[in-house]
Amino acid sequence: MKKITLFFVLISIVASSFAQLTLGGHFAYNSTWLMNKQVFDAGAEMDVAASFGNYYGVIAGYYFSDQFGIETNINFNKLEQKYEGSIKYPLTEERNSYDASTVLNTLDIPILMKFGKTSYFELGPMLQFVNKGTYTRTFESENAIGYYNSIFYCSNLQNKAVKSNFKSMGFGVSLGFGANFNIIEDVLKLNFGLRFNYILSDMEGINALGETKESVYILADEKENFKTNPLYGGLKVGLVYIFE
């Protein structure tokens, strides 16, 4: 029993000799996607376009050793999904083209296990809270009549509030890797990394035309595929201060 106690005392001493608190801030520029199979399967009516967003936030971490630590962030995130498509006019093969976008402002809180210190791999769960959502749509011919599973009025929309169409909170996972470089040795470090984030839970939301799952324009066999899972990732840079 004494040997076991002595062992844990020694482990505690070793761990405390390596323990370091880190605080800092970072900024990330991301490729952003609102993954929705109903949109992907829609054909000419709906398609996604390259979209980008960013987040900034604060970092708080604790290293138990040179090889293992834990970190949490509070990130203010902008997710955008751009769309393009066209609606067929009734009784003709001509189509009315449109561009659209959905923008979500979220508060993201990842909790990451960090493996390595100078260079590292990170992995952990994340909570996402939707603070704001807007939708914009612009048709080539405004106020025209089109056909999308039913008669569809092709009106333009500008920054329509859609937060209520999304779930207020989602659960996901974050993973990444990167490296820390000394600015002031063992005091201030410059961080470069790549991080990817995926929300596993269905955030519901809207499609490229701004319609929800319960819309009359969504057919019964399309409802099963109407799920929204935000995905975003890219390069991040930050400053980290180390407290000995």
Alpha carbons 80 and 133: distance in angstroms, whole number:
10
Q: Rounded mean pLDDT of 134-145?
A: 95
What does the angle CA 57 – CA 33 – CA 24 come to, to the nearest 5 degrees? 10
- At 9-33, the pLDDT tens digits run 333 434 444 478 999 999 999 999 9
CB atoms < 10 A from the CB of 131, how many? 12
Residue spans of the domains in the chain: they are 28-53+66-72+80-179+193-235
φ, ψ of residue 40 in degrees (nearest 5): -65, -30
Lowest mean pLDDT among 4-8, 99-103, 150-154, 177-181: 4-8
Q: For a pLDDT cut of 70, what percent of the chain falls above it? A: 92
| Whether this model's pTM surpasses 0.85 | yes
pLDDT at 186 (0 to 100): 83
CB 31 within 8 A of CB 52: yes
- At 195-238, the pLDDT tens digits run 999 999 999 999 999 999 999 999 998 999 999 999 999 999 99
Alpha carbons 141 and 133: distance in angstroms, whole number:
25
**Helix, strand, coil percent content, the chain, rounded in steps of 5:** 15, 60, 25
CB atoms < 10 A from the CB of 82, how many? 19
Q: Mean pLDDT score of the chain, rounded to an integer?
A: 91
